[in-house]
Amino acid sequence: MTQLTTENQEEWLRILTKGLVTLPKNWREELKISEGSLVKAKKVANKIIIEPLESSVPYRLYSRQELNQFLKDDVLRKKLKRKK
């Protein structure tokens, strides 16, 4: 198990296309952030703070494909439709 470091750590990070930034691997491992993890980002004055999710959330994120399938399947049968 990785022990969290309490000392301040600094790194210069390059902002990529569309504002993407890569967190150093040792930080991701220490904070248990992996691909698909949710993090909270907040702007405080002139600083950006990125915090890992502390516990699981009571919902899940659906892909565009899954949402489209839900909409496709969400059709009221003809018998149940109200006549206008």
- The tens place of each residue's pLDDT in the chain, 84 residues long, gives 455 556 778 889 999 999 999 999 999 999 889 888 889 999 999 999 999 887 666 778 889 999 999 998 888 777 776 766
Dist CA 26 CA 83 (whole Å): 62
pTM of the complete model beyond 0.75: no
Secondary structure E strands in the chain = 39-44, 47-52
Neighbours of 31 (CB within 10 A): 18
Residue 29: what pLDDT? 92
Instruction: Give the rounded distance of the alpha carbon of 40 from its chain centre.
Output: 8
What are the residue ranges spanned by the domains of the chain? 17-80
The CATH number of the domain covering residues in 17-80: 2.10.260
